[in-house]
Structure 1
Amino acid sequence: MATIFITGANRGLGLEFVKQYAQQGHHVIACARHFTQATELSQLATLHSNIQLHELNVMDEDQISELTTVFKNQPIDVLIHNAGVGGFECEALGDMDQKGWLEVLTVNTVSPMLITQALLANILASKAKTIIGLTSILASIDDNNLWWSL
């Protein structure tokens, strides 16, 4: 069975990926910022011994760097970058600020690259060598009526 590493695993698509892969018997490394707030994920992990919980705030570069040590010599077949933020608090002119935009850019673009970098040896040591980046309609250039309110 494969080893699947999932960021943003506490709800939504991330949680569903954890459920599906765990039910198929894969080893799932499910990452979330705070497991005290990830009750459904924590309960799921008690039901499936093949789910490994790992606290990871994708805004914390030190935590990302530690992945290299924590998962040393463990092949990771599939890395799923699922953590993301919409940036709704800075979507309209007049509401934007640097802090909000930097959070959006860090979580959605910089952090996935840093996580990939930290886990590259793990991915290269696997059979599948798969990296998946998820997004939503918010990132669509063609079909996005939710963004850029004026």
Structure 2
Amino acid sequence: MATSNIPTALIVGASRGLGLGLAKEYLARGWQVIATVRATAKTALHDVQADAHGRLEIEHVDINEPHQVAALHVRLHNRSLDLLFVSAGISTAPDTSIGQVDAEEFAHEMTNNALSPMHFIEMFHDLVQPKGSIVVMSSGLGSIANNTDGGWETYRASKAALNTLMRSFVARQTGDPRTYLLMDPGWVRTDMGGPDATLGVEESVPRMADVVEAEVGKGGLRFCNYRGQTVAW
């Protein structure tokens, strides 16, 4: 059960990969962690719970299902969050040019990577305390300025859309003191990143957590990488 003297993080999409790594990292740092998984079946996150000394709460939600997101908000409505980190995302056709991507596939990836994360933030930002942080997992591939070689076209488009929607959201929050971050984790060896990626989860995640910590209380929105460097829009 949560206690009032330790910070609380809600990590969305924590069954594997970077989300799972984030849940483990914040537990190691002494935080209370509420972590979500999509399926009701046991995941790697459940294996962590036994050794978490009551500091890991697992919630089930598919962020593409608005009624599930609303139900989770009801369950957590009286909680105060220091950090909301939305880590959910997919890539379905990294090697397919946009001319070969059908409308259904395109809509599915845009919904998962841009629309649903922003719907979640719209609904849950009120639970984040004024000095807290809201972080969403973006990607260096979401940078339009740095796109010099193409590839991952639908994924790039979805992350660029996410970045734009986050910027619009923050622009609407007049006087909001919270800190907002779009995070590029680097090229990480996950199911999406593949075995040839340059970073392990155990290398990227602690550095992302350090960046989040360094930005606490600064307010506004930044698009940055796991080293804390600003990424060009």
User: What is the distance in 2 between the residues matched to 1:66 and 1:87?
Assistant: 28
In the alignment, is the contact (CA less than 8 A) between 1:31 and 1:55 conserved in 2?
yes
Please provide the CA RMSD for this pair. 2.2
- Map of 1:62-81 to 2, 5 A cutoff? 62-81=67-86
Which secondary structure does the structure 1 equivalent of 2:119 belong to? Answer: helix
Aligned to 2:45: 41
Q: Does 1:18 align with 2:45?
A: no
Higher relative contact order (Cα pairs below 8 Å, separated by 6+ residues) = 1
Q: How much has 1:146 moved relative to structure 2?
A: 3.2
Q: Which residues of structure 2 form unaligned runs of 5+? A: 1-5, 155-233
Of 90-99 and 75-84, more deviation after overlay is shown by 90-99
Aligned to 1:8: 13
User: What is the distance in 2 between the residues matched to 1:37 and 1:97?
Assistant: 33
The aligned amino acid for 2:77 is: K
Which secondary structure does the structure 2 equivalent of 1:58 belong to? Answer: coil
Q: Does 1:130 align with 2:165?
A: no
User: What is the distance in 2 between the residues matched to 1:45 and 1:127?
Assistant: 29
Q: Give the direction of change, closer, same or farther, for the CA distance of 1:35–1:25 in structure 2 (3 Å limit).
A: farther
4+ residue runs of structure 1 moved beyond 4 angstroms?
Answer: none
User: Equivalent pairs: percent with the same residue?
Assistant: 25
Which secondary structure does the structure 2 equivalent of 1:88 belong to? Answer: coil
TM normalised by structure 1 equals: 0.85
TM normalised by structure 2 equals: 0.57
The aligned amino acid for 1:140 is: S
The aligned amino acid for 1:135 is: S
Q: Give the direction of change, closer, same or farther, for the CA distance of 1:110–1:72 in structure 2 (3 Å limit).
A: same
Q: How much has 1:140 moved relative to structure 2?
A: 3.4
1:41-68 deviation line (CA, Å, top 9, x unaligned):
1100121120100111111111111222
User: What is the distance in 2 between the residues matched to 1:35 and 1:95?
Assistant: 34
